[in-house]
Structures are given as structure tokens and as C-alpha cells.
Structure 1
Amino acid sequence: MQSILIIAPNWIGDAVSTQPLLANLKVLYPNSQIDVLASNWVAPIYRACSQVHAVIEAKFEHKKLQWSLRKQLAKEIQAKNYQACFVLPNSFKSALIPWLANIPFRIGYRGELRFGLINLALDNPSKVNRPPMVEHYLSLSQLLKDDAFLPSNKLVPRLNISTSAKQSIEIKLQSANISGDSIYVMCPGAEYGPSKRWPTEHFAALAQQLITQNSNNQIILLGSKNDHSLAQEVTSQAQQARNIHNWCGNTSLDEAIALIGMSKVVVSNDSGLMHIAAALQIPQVAIFGSSNPTHTPPLSDKAKVIWLNMPCSPCYKRICPLGHLRCLKDILPEQVFATLNTLN
């Protein structure tokens, strides 16, 4: 197998979880060229994967077919003569491009009327017995040949930091008079919804505790432009906001990866940035609410998970169906601060 195309998932955390699949494909097909078709949103994750030869970026929009764009991409991809394609999203539209491009082996999970579009398939696991996402994607590597194997040791995601992104972040830190020695990154957002977001007042209280502990500690709030208002709430609720910096929406994802890689500790919700911190082996505290840490854990021995495992969780809802959000509100800043002090 000389050339393989990957159709990337649409969420950052899921994209990070596909890296072990890429690593295993490189073991199975050491001479293969692996390219990835990804939305602009997740493309930086694949630029941070050493197994990827090229990233093909596309302006895919959520819940839109974009038929003309997909036909054009299929025409371009057909000219590259890929032998196999792994279609990692479960949607019908994600399987259209490799089918239109006449790629011989189209591998993925069954679902959403994809019969014929996918010609090597596994059954989707039930919601009750969901495996961890890394295992979910890794299992697909068995489908291309009968003697393919899964690694006996657990593969965990690993990302690299680009030199240019690191240089860019160093310039931004210097411009903001922030020392790189004691940066704590906090990620108050979670794209999925409020039921995965630790309260902003708790983030503010934790930031204040860290600054009180050491006046040299710098807190950088990191996330997308959609998280900017959340970060503003954190800074306004903190007693002393002098060492708290709202960078949400002010970095590219490539730069965010570099900043996380330079940080001392990351505190986050169950989000894409949590998975990036784990893949970079940065000490972290990951706070879970409506989701399940056995399904989407931060795969790092430097990560500590805080989850109350309440009777109503995991509910997987975007908004708390009971209206109290106790699964997150009852995780107090003092508990997270104490956990931070146990990290290596």
C-alpha cells in the first residue's frame, strides 16, 4: 500500500485521537505516503503528526453538503491515485469524496446510508459499550489485510510542535511581557456546550489561588474566539487580574499547540485542547461533567481527571437536563488547586 488518504474527523479532540491509527498504518505500510483531507479547523492537528506527508485543507461547513466543493475535491484527489481511504467521520457526506474519486478501498464504520460508499466496514459500537476513541479509530487498521495486527501495547496520541509556531508564540509572550517559566494555561471553553464547562467563577478563583501562591505565575486563558466572552468573565471575576491574560481567539491552533507545549500546567474541560495537552505530555488537570472520562480520557500519565460520577452522569447533553449542573459546580476550586499541587 503506497498511498493512503485519511478523511479527518471534524472535532479537534477526535482528530488528536486518530494519531495512533496513523502510527499503526506506518508500521503496517512503512513505505506508504499518508495524506489527510481535513477542515481548516482541524488541519493543524495533522500538521503536528509526523506520519502525515501532506494536509489537504478544505472549507467544510457544519451540516452542509457543499456538493460543488466535494465534486471539485474528488476530481483533484482522483488525480493522486490513492489506493485506500479511511473515512473517519460517520456521516454520509464524508464518504462521498473517496467514492467520487474512485479510490479502490474505502474503509470506515457502517452508518448513515453509506452502503456502497464504504466497501470495507466495521459495525459501529453501541452507545452503551463505547470504546475509547483511540481504540475506535485504531480498529479500522485491521480491515486492509487479513494478517494486520493491533499493537499489544497501548498506543497513545503524540503531537509535534512546529518551529515556526513556537517562534510566533515566543514573540507574543515577549510583547506581553510574559515569562515562559511559569505559564499556567486555562481552557474555559468546550465547543460541545455548557454542560462540559466548569463555571467561570471557579476558573477565576483557581487563577487567584495560583497568583497568590506565586506572584510570578502567569495565567493564559486559551481557546477559540467563541470562548473569548467566557475568558472575559474569568478575568472580571478574579480579584487580581494583573497576571491573567485572555488569549481566546488571539492564536491560531498551531500557536495554541506551541503555547500548551511551553506551559507548566494546563487546566481544562473535556475539550480538544485537553487532548492536545495530553498528546504533548504536559501536566494537566482535566475536569469532566456531562461526558465520560473512560470514553474520552486525556491519554497521559501526567494527567489527573476530576469527575464526580454523579447518578445523573454521564448524560452527554449539551445543557444540563436537570438545570443544576452540579456535576461541575460541585467541583470546587480548592479541589483543583490541591490536585495541581500533586502534579509532577
Structure 2
Amino acid sequence: MNILIFSPAWVGDMVMAQTLFKVLHQQYPNVTIDVIAPPWPYDLLQRMPEVSNHYKINVQRGKFSWQARRDIARQLQDKHYDWAITMPITWKSALNGYWSDAPRRTGFLGEMRYGLLNDRRKLDVRQLPYMVQRYVSLGLEPDAKIPELQNIPQPELKVDKKNAQSWLQKLNFQQGQSIVALMPGAEFGPAKRWPAENYALIAKDLVQSGSQVLLLGSPKDFDTASEIEQKSGVQLINLCGKTSLLDAVDILSCADLAISNDSGLMHIAAAVKIPQIAIYRSSTPEFTPPLNDRAVILQAEFNNLSVDRIKLKSLDGIEGFTDVSADSVKLKIKSIL
């Protein structure tokens, strides 16, 4: 069985996509899985042993990128896939499955993809409340029972131990002192980001109690991380924008605790199976929880039925919102470290 999959475009979604890859291997022991992925989460495929071949498609967010899609199609034209699965719901994302000439082309109907898909699935959010259930369902027969969340195989990224050790030496971490990673970013927007002053309070407490604290994130998070260090009044290690995505995987694997918003790095921390505290503000763990038995989830209170919290980019002026307190995070830290 040769399967071609067009992956999601976000880092966290790519981590969760590994649940589908694992289920396909359970269903078809001799399966070959090839994955097409956009640039942003692409490197993570190197850490997923379920994937045989991976192909980067150089698309831009919000752009059709016709030429890039045609280039990948030509590259794969002699692969003879049996099945193409499109994970995103956009019309353009289903093109490569269609061009692959796979006899079975599966995906949610999404943007009216009648001609592109011949195994069209209805997205019933009541039957598929979790994102990973939606992903896994695409690898099952249409009438199959969808596994409960606890029965879905969790993502687990491979770690390059040599690279991890190299980073520990480069950062001059001291043995015997706990390593705590703070990840203050969230690509979706400020509504997901716990305030910098709260992270600063946590960082100060951690350093004063003897922990080594680093900040991980993209270049966009560098200024926020600098603000956290400045407000904390203690020395932190700001790695935002200074690591690759795979470096972040390896560094996180060495941490004794990760504290983050609902973000791509939250899902990476879950996939390297370290203790973590996940802070949910506008989003909800009832849709995209960290798939990690060692995760602690803290949820802000949101008592306002007049707005769709999931779609909020900012919480400014939103009534009925009570944030996760720094004290509640401190209590969880004490129970872990």
C-alpha cells in the first residue's frame, strides 16, 4: 500500500498529524507513507519514523502557488500511489492528490472539492470534537468507529541525542540544576499568549530557586522574550529565533519542565514526553490538547457566549474573561520540580 498525504501547514497540526501516520501503520503493516508539506512544519517529518519520503512544497501562506504545486506533481508522477489523503480542507491542498492519479482520494469535503476527492468525508464536529480524531478518521473506512482520545496513539518525535548534548554544552548548563523552558509565543495571535509579566514572575521564581531558565520561540518572539527577561530582573537564556525547529525538539527533550501557551512548541514538548504546563486562554484543550500523559493543563475562564472564543485574535475589551493566574502556575511547578 503506497499512500500520499498532503499535510497541515502549522507546526502543532503537523505534530498531531503523526497520529494519522501511526494509525495507518497499524492498519496496513507494510504501508509506505509519503508526505507533502509546506516549509514551516516540514522539518518535523525527519523525526517521524512512520514517514518513508517527504517533499517540501514551496508555497506561501494565503497564495495559490500554482507552479509549486505543479512542480511537486511532476516530481511524483511515477510513484503510482494507491491512496491520496488530503488533511487540510482548502481546495488548492487537494490538487496534488488529484494529480497523483491515486484511485482513492480522501479528505473532508471542505471547499466544495467534489471533483478532486472521490472519498469525501463529512466533518461532523460533534462526532469528531478533537483535531486528532478528525485526522485519524481520514485513515479509517467511512463507517469505522472513531477511537476515543485515550485510544489514539500519541505523537512521539525522534530526538537527535548528539545534537541535544551539543546544545547543553554550548549553553553551559550545570548538572544537578533543573532546566525549564518557557515558550511565550503563539503564532495565531495575542489572544493565545499569556502576558509577558506573568512569564517574568514565573522566571524570577524559578531562577531564584536554582533552575536554569531558557526561552524558546521564533524570531517573532524575540522581543517578547527580551521583555520577559527585563521584567524578571534575572538572567535568562533567550534562544528565540536562534534555533532551528529541530534544534528546539532536541533542546526540549533535555528540559525538566516546559511552560507554554497553546502553540506549536507546546505540541513538540508533548511529543518528546517531558513534563509540561500548558496554558490555554482563548483556545480550548477540548479541541487540541497536548497528547502527553505528563501534561498539566490550565484553562482561563471564559464566560461570554456572545463571541466565538476560538476565533479571537485579541482579548482586549472582551468581557467575561479571567486569565490563568501566575500563582496557579507556581503551584503546579512546585508539584512537578
Distance 1:52 1:271, change over 3 A: same
Q: Kindly state the Cα deviation for residue 232 of structure 1 after the two structures are TM-superposed.
A: 1.1
- Name the TM-score, length of structure 2 as normaliser: 0.92
Identity of aligned residues (%): 35
Kept in 1: contact 2:281–2:324 (CA 8 A): no
Name the CA distance, whole Å, in 1 between partners of 2:141 and 2:250: 35
Residue 176 of structure 1, aligned match among 146, 171, 178: 171
Paired residues for 1:203-282 under 5 Å: 203-214=199-210, 217-240=211-234, 242=235, 244-282=236-274
Kept in 2: contact 1:225–1:248 (CA 8 A): yes
Distance 1:178 1:326, change over 3 A: farther
* TM-aligned CA deviation for residue 324 of structure 1: 5.4
Query: Residues 308 and 160 (structure 1 numbering): CA distance in 2 closer, same or farther, change over 3 Å?
Result: closer
Q: Distance in 1 between matches of 2:253 and 2:320?
A: 32
Cα distance in structure 2, aligned partners of 1:51 and 1:167 = 22
Shift in Å, 1:265: 0.2
CA contact (8 A) 2:191 2:312 kept: yes
Task: Give the Cα–Cα distance (whole angstroms) in 1 for the partners of residues 113 and 70 of structure 2.
Answer: 17
Secondary structure in 2 aligned to 1:257? helix
Confirm or deny that 1:136 pairs with 2:96.
Answer: no
Tell me what 2:295 maps to. Answer: 303
- Give the drift of 1:327: 4.2
**In structure 2, the residue corresponding to 1:52 is in which secondary structure?**
coil
SS of match in other structure, 1:268: strand
Cα distance in 1 between the residues matched to 2:169 and 2:318: 42
**Conservation of the 8 A alpha-carbon contact between 1:302 and 1:343:** no
How far the C-alpha of 1:179 sits from its partner, in A, is: 3.0
- Give the structure 1 partner of residue 162 of structure 2: 167
| 1:191 CA displacement | 0.3
**Residue 197 (structure 2) aligns with:** 201
Task: Look up the match of 2:34.
Answer: 35
Q: Is the 8 A contact 2:107 2:121 kept in 1?
A: yes
Q: Provide, for residues 87-126 of structure 1, a one-character-per-residue CA deviation record: whole Å limited to 9, x for no partner.
A: 0011111001121222221111011121110110211234
Q: 1:213 to 1:325 in 2, by over 3 A?
A: farther
Indicate the larger mover: 173-182 or 61-70: 173-182
Alpha-carbon separation, structure 2, partners of 1:125 and 1:230: 38
Partner secondary structure for residue 341 of structure 1:
helix
1:207-228 Cα offsets, whole Å, 9 max, x none, are: 00111122xx111101111111
CA distance in 2, matches of 1:305, 1:91: 31
Q: Which 4+ runs in 1 deviate beyond 6 A?
A: none
> Is 2:258–2:276's contact at 8 Å kept on the other side of the alignment?
yes
Residue in structure 2 matched with residue 190 of structure 1 by the alignment: 186
Query: 2:237 aligns to what SS in structure 1?
Result: strand
Gaps of at least 5 residues in structure 1 are: none
- CA distance in 2 between counterparts of 1:340 and 1:39 reads 36
RMSD value over aligned CA atoms? 2.1
Tell me whether 1:154 sits opposite 2:151 in the alignment. Answer: yes
Question: 1:325, 1:129 → 2: CA distance?
Answer: 30
Give the Cα–Cα distance (whole angstroms) in 2 for the partners of residues 65 and 285 of structure 1.
Answer: 37
More deviation in 170-179 or 85-94?
170-179
Query: Where does structure 2 lack aligned partners over 5 or more consecutive residues?
Result: none
Q: CA deviation at 1:85?
A: 1.1
Q: Is the partner of 2:40 in helix, strand or coil?
A: coil
Q: Tell me what 1:338 maps to.
A: 331
C-alpha distance in structure 2 between counterparts of 1:232 and 1:29, whole Å: 48
Q: How do residues 119-134 of structure 1 correspond to structure 2 at under 5 angstroms?
A: 119-126=118-125, 131-134=129-132
CA contact (8 A) 1:4 1:83 kept: yes
